[in-house]
Amino acid sequence: MTSFKERAEQAETAEADASERADAAGKLTLAEILEILTAGRLPLRFTAYDGSSAGPPDAPFGLDLKTPRGTTYLATARGDLGFARAYIAGDLEAEGVHPGDPYELLKALSGDLVFKLPSPRVMAHIFRSIGVEHLRPIAPPPEEVPPRWRRIATGLRHSKSRDAEAIHHHYDVSNTFYEWVLGPSMTYTCACYPRPDASLDEAQENKYRLVFEKLRLKPGDRLLDVGCGWGGMVRYAARRGVRATGVTLSEEQTSWAQEAIAEEGLSDLAEVRFGDYRDIAESGFDAVSSIGLLEHIGVRNYPSYFTFLQSRMRPGGLLLNHCITRPDNRSEPSTRGFIDRYVFPDGELTGSGRIISEAQDAGLEVLHEENLRPHYAMTLRDWCANLVEHWDEAVAEVGLPTAKVWGLYMAGSRLAFETGGIQLHQVLAVKPGDGGEAGAGAGAGDLPLRPWWTP
């Protein structure tokens, strides 16, 4: 492993070499600029339209900057956004990986690659070499949503109208596209793998089984599933005699779920509505499941979210919240860059501790929590494999740029789950009974003293 001192010395050497080249030639090539910014430690091969190249010639993965527009995207956006713009627009091509699963290339980039800010003198050379025409922002690819400050036209953040627009952007892509990526289960949340070699469909069925058992559902019970997607949990519960109501802000999901319910003959027990969960008027549910919704709620809305869900439960009813989390409770919750502009507009993540605190402060008693982080990495691996398998059909259905967005997003998310940058927590809570505390004799039923479900 290279030490910090060695990396610093390499960076100084690369910068000094660049200064000499710039002084001699007056202009740096694109490859030389990248070598400066990465301290000469490129883990892959880089080529550019100006004929320059950098990195190991025999590297298994590479990036090819094909157009001047790509330079503009890279130079005018911070973080991963410039990379995403150039890649999605076709100005930057990945080599050695499939666009439906660029995981290995992203993994190589995330290794020892560290960007370093050069001295002001060298930065001046870089700006002159790039040219002022590439330092002025240009229109992003049409797949990108506007920045947050411009989304005010659709309402305040996490208002009903703006939430509906954000959900529409991500979930109303194409049911056919989702069928190819998600597989027969049509489940767009973390699976739970009973074995390392389990199939995706088996793992998704196992996830629904786990939620069902944690909620202690039995025939005749009433379940509310908020943010129900294509109705997977609703149909799973209805097949077992539970009266299940789901709600989603996606019209595409609603129509697909309603057809699936009718085809399975579950209409007497299962229902999926198009609408906001905050518009659910019924109460007295035995259980509430929220699987992949909290990411869209907004951290400042957690108190009203948990209070509302509790108000729809009977005393002693159980709540299962399943969502992506950060590994700490201090980070800024709002997402930025590529994820916010191309995948989950207005998405917000926080740590499991914050979620548990908010649930407790809303009057719920937290019974159990667990982290399924490795399972989400495996889920994303299998979704990427599905996208690769159906790549030509996916491109024909949604277009090449959108298909590339999904490949980049899922592969990058897999890497983040593997390295612990994000996690997936299930939190189980009970609504206390009239006695003010959970447990037998307090209106909360006869909950066992220890977990009653099979892991």
pLDDT at 158: 58
pLDDT at 162: 57
Beta-bridge partners for 45: 62
Mean pLDDT of 382-394: 98
pLDDT at 41: 85
Would you say residue 438 has pLDDT above 70? no
**Tally of CA atoms within 13 A in the half-sphere of 250 that contains its CB:** 25
Would you say residue 332 has pLDDT above 50? yes
pLDDT band for 155, please (50, 70, 90 cuts): low
CA distances to 11, 294, 349, 365 from 352, rounded to whole Å, are 39, 11, 9, 15
Kindly state the percentage of the chain with pLDDT values over 90: 77
Q: Cα separation of 319 and 290, whole Å? A: 8
Would you say residue 5 has pLDDT above 50? no
Are 285 and 222 a contacting pair, CB within 8 Å?
Answer: yes
Mean pLDDT of 66-86: 95
Q: In what order do the strands lie in the sheet with 53-54?
A: 53-54, 45-48, 62-65, 92-95
Could you state, in order of their start, the residue ranges of all structural domains in the chain?
4-134, 162-430
Which residue in the block uniquely carries the two structure tokens 């191309």? Answer: 342
**Among the listed ranges 149-163, 200-214, 221-235, 279-293, which one has the minimum average pLDDT value?**
149-163
Give the tokens for residue 115: 């960007």
Residues 6+ apart with CB under 8 A from 163: 249, 276, 296, 346
pLDDT band for 146, please (50, 70, 90 cuts): confident
Phi/psi region, residue 304 (left: phi>0; alpha: psi -120 to 50; beta: rest), is alpha
Q: Cα separation of 202 and 194, whole Å? A: 8
SS3 300: helix
Regarding predicted confidence, which is higher, 19 or 421?
A: 421
pLDDT at 21: 54
pLDDT band for 411, please (50, 70, 90 cuts): very high
Are 370 and 425 a contacting pair, CB within 8 Å?
Answer: yes
Closest CA to 369 of 358, 356, 382: 356
> Could you read off the pLDDT of 43-74 as tens digits, one per residue?
999 999 999 999 999 999 999 999 999 999 99
pLDDT at 62: 97
> Could you read off the pLDDT of 193-240 as tens digits, one per residue?
999 999 999 999 999 999 999 999 999 999 999 999 999 999 999 999
CB count in 10 Å sphere of residue 432: 19
Are 225 and 270 a contacting pair, CB within 8 Å?
Answer: no
List helix spans (H) across 77-116.
80-88, 103-109
Would you say residue 8 has pLDDT above 50? no
SS3 81: helix
Mean pLDDT of 165-181: 75
Residues 6+ apart with CB under 8 A from 210: 192, 426, 453, 454, 455
Say whether domain 162-430 belongs to CATH 3.40.50.150: yes
Summary mean pLDDT of the chain: 89
Closest CA to 89 of 409, 402, 401: 401
Q: Cα separation of 67 and 385, whole Å? A: 30
Would you say residue 10 has pLDDT above 80? no
Q: In what order do the strands lie in the sheet with 243-248?
A: 270-274, 243-248, 222-226, 285-291, 313-325, 423-430, 365-371
Q: Cα separation of 114 and 39, whole Å? A: 8
pTM, full prediction: 0.89
Report strand pairing: 270-274 vs 313-325.
unpaired
- Amino acid residing at 343: V
Mean pLDDT of 163-173: 56
Q: Interior CA angle at 356 toward 308 and 365, to 5°? A: 70
Closest CA to 45 of 64, 68, 28: 64
- Give the dihedral sign, CA 111/115/116/118: positive
**Among the listed ranges 134-148, 236-250, 305-319, which one has the minimum average pLDDT value?**
134-148
